[in-house]
């Protein structure tokens, strides 16, 4: 079934003046050979799993956004020694305390001398706790005074005016007082507080985020064993596309070039290039057959029109079609082809929202399984109002979350991005539509927690 057929169905529904029924209609008419939507996603997952990228060990700074290929296990206790959690004073026993030393205990220095009961020493955050310490008193919770020793007071008494023994002077004896009650062990990070050597910190399949890099470094890692991000080339097709300025004279702005690369990065890919080839079949064939990427993504040219060159060049390149059309609206002319055992092509329709449908239907499961990422747990939410469906295809509709419900957005035609730009996700509407209150599967958008680099 062509996109014109899709428009004809919608127009027919509008003419009869009512929404389509909310129960599935009979199977697709004869000649409609598109793969069911759920099956297309399953095929893409299986294809990616069969061609999962080889793991590699790389320095920490080269693993951001990749997936762990082995559990992250602590190589040492963390912290590996008792440390001070604050700047202040390490103290032993009850106060007040005699202040020992001049420079104090600093982070990164060798083991400090032990403290006896009644003694205190200045200490910096992260410094090793002196043996015998019972607590750390924060700087802002302490005060010091310089009392006189008994010996000093006696000498001062003897040094009266007129006497000749003025050599004896008072000797300061610094004391530390706590402004608040001191609890045993306060502001001391004990060895192994966060983990013990051998503890599993993260499982296989965990995404390497900036926080994971910090944890790995703290746990003693210099390198990580990961599954690299798939490399992608993007080929933008269509002579009618402008890269700047206002649409004019039958030309339109290219909405997919600025969108597809960032979207694929959010799905876990490394985008090598975005190229605009127009409607040149020879240029498309050269680009596909010479690309060194793991995945090629094309936009437009997947139907059967006079300048739709994707199918012919795939046949010429000897590719195998894994998915050739999907029973989903928008986006049914999408396809997935196997170029070699390790290289694939996803053909997206040229209409912007249809291309988004293709990204989430085929590119997302393929990239996820190729890079070893675990599947996001599926969930459903009730829809606030009735949603029009397609007679026999799945429909993907932009929605926003409102309290415990989802609300469909307008401007959801195949060529529109206005609804998608405001959406939290896409609702999977079954053939025939959905009633108000019906729970629908939700495809979340991949923006949260991702780094756009």
pLDDT confidence tier of residue 155, bands split at 50, 70 and 90: very low
pLDDT, position 199: 92
pLDDT confidence tier of residue 38, bands split at 50, 70 and 90: very high
**Bridge partners (DSSP) listed for residue 88:** 123, 138
Find the helix or strand (DSSP H, E) in which 420 lies.
helix 418-421
Pairing mode, strands 241-242 and 320-324 = unpaired
Find the helix or strand (DSSP H, E) in which 421 lies.
helix 418-421
Kindly state the tokens that stand for 73: 């296990």
3-state secondary structure of 125: coil
CA atoms within 13 A on the CB side of 262: 9
**Pick from 366, 296, 301, 293: which is nearest to 40 by CA?**
366
pLDDT, position 241: 75
Between CA 195 and CA 164 the distance in angstroms is 66
Could you report the per-residue pLDDT of 191-231, keeping only the tens digit for each? 988 999 999 999 999 999 999 999 999 999 999 999 999 99
pLDDT, position 147: 60
Q: Say if residue 173 is preceded by a cis peptide, omega within 30 of 0.
A: no
Please give the DSSP secondary-structure letter assigned to residue 361: I
Between CA 25 and CA 127 the distance in angstroms is 72
- Whether residue 189 contacts residue 165, with contact meaning beta carbons closer than 8 Å, is answered with no
Find the helix or strand (DSSP H, E) in which 153 lies.
helix 150-158
**Bridge partners (DSSP) listed for residue 148:** 172
**Pick from 131, 201, 205, 157: which is nearest to 372 by CA?**
205
**Total-model pTM:** 0.75
* Residue 408 CB neighbour total at 10 angstroms: 21
3-state secondary structure of 184: coil
Please, what are the domains in the chain? 3-19+28-54+230-370 (3.40.980.10), 56-77+199-227 (3.90.105.10), 83-189 (2.170.190.11), 380-444 (2.40.340.10)
Kindly state the tokens that stand for 309: 């060159």
Kindly state the tokens that stand for 339: 């170029």
Could you report the per-residue pLDDT of 407-427, keeping only the tens digit for each? 999 888 888 888 888 999 999
pLDDT, position 148: 55
**Pick from 326, 285, 389: which is nearest to 10 by CA?**
389
Could you report the per-residue pLDDT of 303-346, keeping only the tens digit for each? 888 888 999 999 999 999 999 999 999 999 999 999 999 999 99
pLDDT confidence tier of residue 170, bands split at 50, 70 and 90: low
pLDDT, position 202: 96
Average pLDDT over residues 365-392: 93
Between CA 226 and CA 296 the distance in angstroms is 22
């Amino acid at each position: 079934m062509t996109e014109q057929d899709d428009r004809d169905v919608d127009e027919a529904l509008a003419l009869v003046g009512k929404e389509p029924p909310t129960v599935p209609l009979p199977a697709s008419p004869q000649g409609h050979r598109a793969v069911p939507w759920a099956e297309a996603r399953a095929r893409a997952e299986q294809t990616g799993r069969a061609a999962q990228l080889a793991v590699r060990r790389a320095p920490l700074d080269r693993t951001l956004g990749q997936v762990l290929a082995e559990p992250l296990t602590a190589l040492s206790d963390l912290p590996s020694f008792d440390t001070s959690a604050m700047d202040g004073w390490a103290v032993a026993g009850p106060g007040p305390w005699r202040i020992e030393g001049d420079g104090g205990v600093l982070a990164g220095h060798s083991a400090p001398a032990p403290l006896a009961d009644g003694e205190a020493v200045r200490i910096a955050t992260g410094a090793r706790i002196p043996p015998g310490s019972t607590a750390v008193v924060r700087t802002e919770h302490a005060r010091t005074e310089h009392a006189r020793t008994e010996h000093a007071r006696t000498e001062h008494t003897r040094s009266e005016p007129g006497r000749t023994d003025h050599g004896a002077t008072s000797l300061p004896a610094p004391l530390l007082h706590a402004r608040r009650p001191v609890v045993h062990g306060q502001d001391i990070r004990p060895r192994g507080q966060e983990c013990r050597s051998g503890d599993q910190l993260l499982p296989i399949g965990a995404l390497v985020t900036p926080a994971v890099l910090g944890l790995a470094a703290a746990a003693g890692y210099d390198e990580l064993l990961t599954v690299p991000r798939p490399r992608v080339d993007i080929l933008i097709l269509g002579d009618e596309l402008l890269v700047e300025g206002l649409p004019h004279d039958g030309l339109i702005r290219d909405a997919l070039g600025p969108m597809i690369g960032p979207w694929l990065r959010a799905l876990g890919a490394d985008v090598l290039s975005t190229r605009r080839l127009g409607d040149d079949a020879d240029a498309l064939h050269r680009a596909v057959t010479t690309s060194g990427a793991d995945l090629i993504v094309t936009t437009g040219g997947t139907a059967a029109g006079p300048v739709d060159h994707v199918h012919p060049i795939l046949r010429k390149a000897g590719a195998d079609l894994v998915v050739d059309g999907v029973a989903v609206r928008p986006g049914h002319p999408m396809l997935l082809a196997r170029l070699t055992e390790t290289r694939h092509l996803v053909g997206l329709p040229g209409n912007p929202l249809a291309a988004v449908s293709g990204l989430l239907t085929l590119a997302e499961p393929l990239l996820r399984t190729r890079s070893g990422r675990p599947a996001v747990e599926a969930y459903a939410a009730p829809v606030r109002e009735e949603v029009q469906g397609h007679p026999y295809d799945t429909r993907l509709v932009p929605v926003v979350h409102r309290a415990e419900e989802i609300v469909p957005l307008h401007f959801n035609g195949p060529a529109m991005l206005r609804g998608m730009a405001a959406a939290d996700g896409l609702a999977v509407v079954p053939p025939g539509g959905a009633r108000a209150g019906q729970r629908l599967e939700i495809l979340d958008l991949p923006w949260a927690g991702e780094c756009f680099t």
